[in-house]
Chain A
Amino acid sequence: MGSKTGFPFTAIVGQNEMKNALILNVINPSIGGVLIRGEKGTAKSTAVRSLAELLPERKVSKCPFRCVVSQQDELCPYCKESSVSGSMEEETVDMSVVELPLSATEDRVAGTLDLEFALKTGKKRFEPGVLAKANGNILYVDEVNLLDDHLVDLLLDAAAMGRNYVEREGVSFSHPSKFILVGTMNPEEGDLRPQLLDRFGMAVDVKSEKDVDTRIEVIKKRLEFERDPDAFAEKHSNEQNVLRKRIDAAKSLLKEMEIDDGAMRMAVEASLYFGVDGHRADITLLKSASAYAAFYGREKTIKEDVASIANLVLTHRMRRNPFQESTIDTEELNKWIKSL
């Protein structure tokens, strides 16, 4: 069986917060990814996988790591070499969703000695792993809270440096590894390590739809999809195109984005008010708010934009104590937003 038609993003019923969080990250990859927490069977994985169809194009080098040519200091060893000799080649590819399965082995995540090459030529060569494929793309970890600690360590290192350093099996190598980290998890199965939780720019909590009519809509869409995936995709292709274009437009708007002084003030106030440590929250608030403004076609980020995305950015950072009830926090947040 080859590649099969997936469920279209725009056909997912409800779950607007989750969809928004994903889209905003695509518009502005520097937001830092999103953690989707929620009940089982709530289309978490479906949403992330279906994002692939909406992703924009990128212009990158032809090397296995898809280096961005303009980022000279971050090139991989191959590109550095060809950059010196002036033989660097570029091509346009779609951004993609790269999956990190729980069962992955360390060598496949970080990359390792190329066995085939070694057997054929007797020479050593680096074989890229998942962290290489993820460069410039979305790195998706399903059930991220169950990922083994030693893999989490690899992920954290790469995320912090934007680069993957490999020193093992007699190979010494480094290459760029910048990705949008997207994780899904069911909180009942275990907590996420605090360091990893901090890495996520946003977090959303999803629940199944309680409204009966919406539930019926969910069943109908699913049945229709299962009956004929291609026809279903065709039916939604228009919506998909519109959304894809809107994301592209937002990406270009973002380059010229102006941030209103009121918005900046509000971001700082929000972080201070909720006692969030460090400046990462302030900055992420503004990045997300800008992406939000751009998605709505505006050239200026205002304080309402910050208010609209505040809960996505702040909820998971407010829980300084692991046993604090997050629902209370959310209520407080909403109250605070309303009071403005």
Chain B
Amino acid sequence: MDKEPLSGFPFSAVLGADEVKKAIKCLLVSPGIRSVLVQGTSGSAKTTLVRSISRISEKKVINLPLNATEGQVTGALDIEETITSGTKKILPGLISRADGNILYADDANLMDRSILGSILKAASGEEITAEREGISWKYTSGMKFIATMNILENPMDEQLLDMFDVCVDIGNITNEKERYEIVRRRTEFDRDKENFHKIYEEDDAKVSGEINTAAARIEFVSISDDLLRVIAELCSKVGAEGHRGDIATTNASMALAALNGRDEVILEDVKDAAKMCLRHRMTEVPEEENEKRSSEPNTEQPDADADMTPDDIGTGGNDEDGGTGGDDTEMVFSIGNTFSVIDFTELRSFRDVNARSYGKHGKTKSTMCKGRYIRSRISSDHRDIAIDASMRAAAPYQKFRKKDGLAIVLEMSDLRQKVRERKSGASIMFVVDASGSMGARKRMVSVKGAVFSLLKESYKNRDKVGLTAFRRDSAEVLLPFTKSVDFAYRKLKDMPTGGTTPLAAALLKTYTELKKEKRMRPNERYYVVLATDGRANVAMSGGDAFRDALSAARHIGKEATASWIVVDTGTGYPHTDNALNICKELNGIYLKLEDLNSDGLAHRIKTITGRGYA
């Protein structure tokens, strides 16, 4: 316990966050619980709590910096050793160094996907194979992994989310007294750490003892078949994909039983465990099931565990849409005729947002040691070494260097780094007006047809696509950016139409979504295809709906986050210039629905874009 002397905050002095503490204890007790994700807003003591683990356990908490490279995490060639000794040496990564301890990552949702994937695989006990930069090796690590994420930032990739055994929410303390107490403790800690530790020393020792006893007990804990059945039923009821949820819930139940000093799991343990293990694995309950549930209440659960509905698991369920109330009728239109489309990514908007990065398949310089090796450069950064170039650089000096039995002597100054090039794709968000007015004269059929045609084009170019629909009083991201165009197609097909037009909300939602994405992947080119007739009738704050939309558009148009393409779906009489005006504010490209068809209409686009109306 002398590893983290007085710098850390005592575990017991952290107020609240009971579920997180419980999860941490499970992680320390159960060999089967190997990874924990802590969700919360910033400043909610996530880090303080995790760091304080070294006060209650022998395990060390090893910090993983957000900008760690693949090599630092999984291991890399130790260039200095290699050159001085003449044999290849591997510099172990954080995963190997954390063996037997706890690896801790802040803001895991902002990490590189493949790095986080390797960490989670290693934490789950899988063997890691690395084939990088001239070396090849395999290893396993007995480490455990704790990560935090800010729920206001990007969501985490679902595949990775599922790999966390446990996911808990740190919650927010709104009680005035408790908030006061938190501030008081912190101030006291900052003033006199030594004294502060003395106060909580005993409590921390108690927790530590509790964990040690439970860890010794856990191998004797058993669970009945009846409770296993409860777990299996619960998991399939909340729609947890795969079997990781079942297994994690079982392991956590056993850990909780051990922590409570029992050798037998009881229903209470299962309930508590399910809250921690299934929250992040719940999928939306399909709509047919919603209807079924409302039409035949309480017929499905005759068992003693009848109170274990998905709503028990914290996040609750289906508050949106509220059934079919309201007078707006809702319909799902089929996808209309498709056609080959003009390549709108080639078009430039009136203010060229990012001039040099345009083009069908833009290339960006890759900094992640991935991509094609195109040439080498001199760099003080000694990752991803270009061996051939380095040797060439060293060649002229060989005569004068001390050899020590080596044929070639390299010095650090000879090292050249590879410059790699990687294709960067386009990310296209389709924002579709699904309000009632779009249903008139089956306009939605042709809009879906048009969007589908655009999707087909994206499939060919391997773009990323997303789909946002707006109607009634809000805009909803039906599909965040994905490479699965197929999935987007299905979402589009099932998208219902009906209700009012919250255009301003849709613009802002799309804008924030893009900002988030851009922060993660700044090298991508972003496009938004907005299909609307511009007849906004839901204001953000009770004012004029269209004026709201215009000012939102103006705000967005000032920043070059993405290129906007507005497809005016307003056909027939009377025609308004609403969509056109929105487009002007957005600094976007304006197209009519029929303009999208490339057959014979390409020249019209030229005239439109050539004329300009900025």
Interface stretch among B443-451, B480-488, B522-530? B480-488
Interface stretch among B12-20, B240-248, B600-608? B240-248
Q: Are A148 and B422 also in contact (CB < 8 A) when A169-B388, A190-B482 are?
A: yes
A101-B372 Cα distance, complex, nearest whole Å: 17
B-contacting residues, A25-47, CB 8 Å: 39-43, 45
The contact string, 1 if C-beta is below 8 Å from chain B, for chain A 169-202, is 1100000000000000011111101000000000
Identify A115's interface contact among B82, B371, B452, CB under 8 A.
B82
A26-B582 Cα distance, complex, nearest whole Å: 60
Check: B407 CB closer than 8 A to any chain A CB: yes
- Asked whether A1 lies within 8 Å of B141 as measured between CB atoms, the reply is yes
Of A1, A41, A45, A169, the most chain B CB neighbours within 10 A belong to: A41
Identify B250's interface contact among A115, A188, A219, CB under 8 A.
A219
Check: A335 CB closer than 8 A to any chain B CB: no
Residues of A within 8 A of B141 (CB): 1
Instruction: Specify the chain B residue showing the minimal Cβ separation from A189.
Output: B159
Identify B243's interface contact among A3, A42, A212, A227, CB under 8 A.
A42
Residues of A within 8 A of B246 (CB): 215, 218-219
Check: B236 CB closer than 8 A to any chain A CB: yes
- Asked whether B131 lies within 8 Å of A108 as measured between CB atoms, the reply is yes
B29 to chain A: closest CB distance in Å? 14
Instruction: Specify the chain A residue showing the minimal Cβ separation from B338.
Output: A323
Identify B83's interface contact among A105, A119, A127, A223, CB under 8 A.
A119
Instruction: Specify the chain B residue showing the minimal Cβ separation from A148.
Output: B370
A190-B410 Cα distance, complex, nearest whole Å: 44
The contact string, 1 if C-beta is below 8 Å from chain B, for chain A 99-134, is 111111111110011011011111100010110000
B381 to chain A: closest CB distance in Å? 16
B387 to chain A: closest CB distance in Å? 5
The contact string, 1 if C-beta is below 8 Å from chain B, for chain A 280-295, is 0000000000000000
Residues of A within 8 A of B127 (CB): 3-4, 49
Identify A112's interface contact among B134, B139, B251, CB under 8 A.
B134
A282-B335 Cα distance, complex, nearest whole Å: 34
A-contacting residues, B123-160, CB 8 Å: 125-136, 139-142, 157-159
B46 to chain A: closest CB distance in Å? 25
Check: A226 CB closer than 8 A to any chain B CB: yes
Q: Are A188 and B371 also in contact (CB < 8 A) when A1-B99, A108-B133, A118-B391 are?
A: no
- Asked whether A102 lies within 8 Å of B114 as measured between CB atoms, the reply is yes
Identify B233's interface contact among A123, A212, A220, CB under 8 A.
A212
Interface size class of A (residues with CB under 8 A): 35 or more
Instruction: Specify the chain A residue showing the minimal Cβ separation from B133.
Output: A105
Interface stretch among B175-183, B223-231, B342-350, B427-435? B223-231
A42-B242 Cα distance, complex, nearest whole Å: 5
Check: B118 CB closer than 8 A to any chain A CB: yes
The contact string, 1 if C-beta is below 8 Å from chain A, for chain B 194-212, is 0000000000000000000
Check: A338 CB closer than 8 A to any chain B CB: no
Residues of B within 8 A of A168 (CB): 373
Check: A149 CB closer than 8 A to any chain B CB: yes
The contact string, 1 if C-beta is below 8 Å from chain B, for chain A 200-227, is 0000000011101001101110110011
Check: A278 CB closer than 8 A to any chain B CB: no
Residues of A within 8 A of B245 (CB): 41
Identify B406's interface contact among A99, A120, A130, CB under 8 A.
A120
Instruction: Specify the chain A residue showing the minimal Cβ separation from B408.
Output: A122
A43-B482 Cα distance, complex, nearest whole Å: 24
Check: A86 CB closer than 8 A to any chain B CB: no
Instruction: Specify the chain B residue showing the minimal Cβ separation from A226.
Output: B32
- Asked whether A105 lies within 8 Å of B370 as measured between CB atoms, the reply is yes
- Asked whether A127 lies within 8 Å of B129 as measured between CB atoms, the reply is no
Residues of A within 8 A of B88 (CB): 115-116
Count of chain B residues near A, Cβ 8 A: 81
A78-B231 Cα distance, complex, nearest whole Å: 58
A336-B422 Cα distance, complex, nearest whole Å: 45
Instruction: Specify the chain A residue showing the minimal Cβ separation from B335.
Output: A323
A-contacting residues, B241-275, CB 8 Å: 241-247, 250-251
A216-B373 Cα distance, complex, nearest whole Å: 50
Instruction: Specify the chain A residue showing the minimal Cβ separation from B134.
Output: A115
Q: Are A190 and B484 also in contact (CB < 8 A) when A108-B134, A115-B134, A127-B134 are?
A: yes
Q: Are A39 and B229 also in contact (CB < 8 A) when A108-B133, A129-B131, A188-B158 are?
A: no
- Asked whether A102 lies within 8 Å of B117 as measured between CB atoms, the reply is yes
A106-B372 Cα distance, complex, nearest whole Å: 8
Check: B369 CB closer than 8 A to any chain A CB: yes
Q: Are A104 and B131 also in contact (CB < 8 A) when A40-B159, A118-B387, A122-B407 are?
A: yes
B222 to chain A: closest CB distance in Å? 10
- Asked whether B134 lies within 8 Å of A218 as measured between CB atoms, the reply is no
Residues of B within 8 A of A145 (CB): 483
Q: Are A149 and B423 also in contact (CB < 8 A) when A116-B86, A119-B83, A219-B232 are?
A: yes
Check: B459 CB closer than 8 A to any chain A CB: yes
Q: Are A115 and B236 also in contact (CB < 8 A) when A104-B131, A108-B132, A219-B246 are?
A: no
Identify A43's interface contact among B243, B371, B387, B410, CB under 8 A.
B243
A317-B245 Cα distance, complex, nearest whole Å: 33
A129-B131 Cα distance, complex, nearest whole Å: 8
The contact string, 1 if C-beta is below 8 Å from chain A, for chain B 562-593, is 00000000000000000000000000000000
Residues of A within 8 A of B32 (CB): 223, 226
A208-B372 Cα distance, complex, nearest whole Å: 38
- Asked whether A215 lies within 8 Å of B235 as measured between CB atoms, the reply is yes
B-contacting residues, A4-63, CB 8 Å: 4, 39-43, 45, 49
Identify B87's interface contact among A4, A112, A116, CB under 8 A.
A116
- Asked whether A109 lies within 8 Å of B131 as measured between CB atoms, the reply is yes
A270-B292 Cα distance, complex, nearest whole Å: 40
Instruction: Specify the chain B residue showing the minimal Cβ separation from A227.
Output: B219
Residues of A within 8 A of B235 (CB): 215
Instruction: Specify the chain B residue showing the minimal Cβ separation from A38.
Output: B242
A99-B129 Cα distance, complex, nearest whole Å: 7
B262 to chain A: closest CB distance in Å? 17
- Asked whether A323 lies within 8 Å of B486 as measured between CB atoms, the reply is yes
18 A–B contacts from the bound complex (CB under 8 Å): A3-B127, A40-B162, A41-B162, A101-B130, A101-B131, A103-B74, A106-B373, A107-B134, A108-B131, A119-B406, A129-B136, A149-B462, A150-B422, A188-B158, A212-B232, A215-B235, A223-B251, A323-B456
Residues of A within 8 A of B (CB): 1, 3-4, 39-43, 45, 49, 99-109, 112-113, 115-116, 118-123, 127, 129-130, 143, 145-146, 148-150, 168-170, 186-191, 193, 208-210, 212, 215-216, 218-220, 222-223, 226-227, 322-323
The 5 closest A-B CB pairs, nearest first, are A41-B242, A190-B483, A122-B407, A215-B232, A108-B131
